[in-house]
Amino acid sequence: MLEIKNLHASVEDKEILKGIDLKVNAGEVHAIMGPNGSGKSTLASVIAGKEDFEVEEGSIVLEGEDLDELAPEERAHKGIFLSFQYPVEIPGVSVTNFIKTAINESRKARGLEEMPANEMLKKIREKSELLEIDRKFLSRSLNEGFSGGEKKRNEIFQMAMMEPKLAILDETDSGLDIDALRIVANGVNKLRNKDNAIIVITHYQRLLDYIVPDFVHVLYNGKIVKSGTKELALELEEKGYDWIKQEATV
């Protein structure tokens, strides 16, 4: 589904991604771990099309199509979804109106009619129940004054509404309490199927207990320095990153 080859990306002439290769097939869950500042969020942003980053070399291909020339919204229309590490507060736009606009703009781009209002309401009800989100919450301004955990839960609510092909969850677990983590992870699992794929960026094994990855990669200094199966995450939890850093510099 997604194939990243030799991806180099920089911001303000500073190279952050230094040659990333990653292949994600439909139906798979990949976890990306790695020390702070190693480039995980940058990779997520570059896949989503953030224009601040300059792709110097390499390619990102989604279902056979090179994303290079595509704007962020076009990538979203193709089924890419990014759950932000730091969701942006947008005062004056309610969660409901935002999600309606997002869904209908995506449908329009795919040549579909707007979603009928009753269908939209039904879907909103269903997905907010899945994530145990209070309906009152949905009429509030997007992320404004939301607690850290509420923001993350709201991101996954949007994911549930958008039903992406490729979801990238950037530290969705940070800020969630133990119960919320279970609810959110459960929500994500319900959305999994053989046709979509998920990239989970996290620092902790905790989340991976719920959303079990098929592969685990370690990103360090702009490169994937180690890949393995879910056992790698356990090993990292136990030993930290020093041994990986040493291996990488050798």
Partner 1 sequence: MDLKEKLISSFLAFENNVDLDHPVHEVRSEAIKNFENKGFPSKKEEAWKYTSLNSLQKVDFSIFPKEESTLEYKDVKKYFLHEIDTYKIVFVDGVYSSYLSETTHDGVDVCLMSSAFSKPMFRQVIEVYFNKVASKDESLTTLNTAFSKEGAYIYIPKNKMPKKPIQILHLATGNEAALMLQPRNLIVAEDNAEVQIIERHQSLTDNEVFTNSVTEIFAGKDAIVDYYKVQNDAPTASLVDNTYISQKDSSVVRVHTFSFGGKLIRNNLNFYQNGERIDSTLKGVTILGDKQHVDHHTLVHHRQPNCESHQDYKGIFGDSSTGVFNGKIIVDKIAQKTDAFQQNNNILLSDRATINSKPQLEIFADDVKCSHGCTIGQLDEDALFYLRSRGIPKKEATALLMYAFANNVLESVRIPELKSRINKIIANKLGVRVGFDL
Ligand X SMILES: Nc1ncnc2c1ncn2[C@@H]1O[C@H](COP(=O)(O)OP(=O)(O)OP(=O)(O)O)[C@@H](O)[C@H]1O
Q: Does 56 bind ligand X (CB under 6 A)?
A: no
Segment contacting ligand X (CB under 6 A): 31-39, 92-100, 153-161, 224-232?
A: 31-39
Partner from Mg ion, partner 1, ligand X, none contacting 26, C-beta within 5 to 8 A by type = none
Pairing state between β 2-11 and 14-24: antiparallel
Q: What is the DSSP letter of 158?
A: H
User: For residues 37 and 18, is the Cβ–Cβ distance under 8 A?
Assistant: no
Residue 78 Cβ vs Mg ion, minimum distance, rounded to whole Å: 23
- Could you say which of Mg ion, partner 1, ligand X, none residue 73 binds, taking C-beta under 5 to 8 angstroms by partner kind? partner 1
Q: What is the DSSP code (8-state) at residue 1?
A: -
Phi, psi of 204 (to 5 degrees): -125, 145
Among 9, 24, 28, 41, binds Mg ion (CB under 5 A): 41
| Region from 1-9, 38-46, 54-62, 221-229 binding Mg ion, contact rule CB under 5 A | 38-46
96 versus 173: smaller Cβ distance to Mg ion: 173
Look at residues 86, 99, 89, 165 and name the one whose alpha carbon lies nearest to residue 126. Answer: 99
Of positions 85, 128, 158, 172, contacts Mg ion by CB under 5 A? 85
Q: Beta strand pairing status for 197-201 and 29-33? A: parallel
Q: What angle do CA 180, 184, 190 make, to 5 degrees?
A: 145
Q: Which is nearer to ligand X, 8 or 140 (CB)?
A: 8
Q: 33, 39, 188, 202: which one contacts ligand X (CB under 6 A)?
A: 39
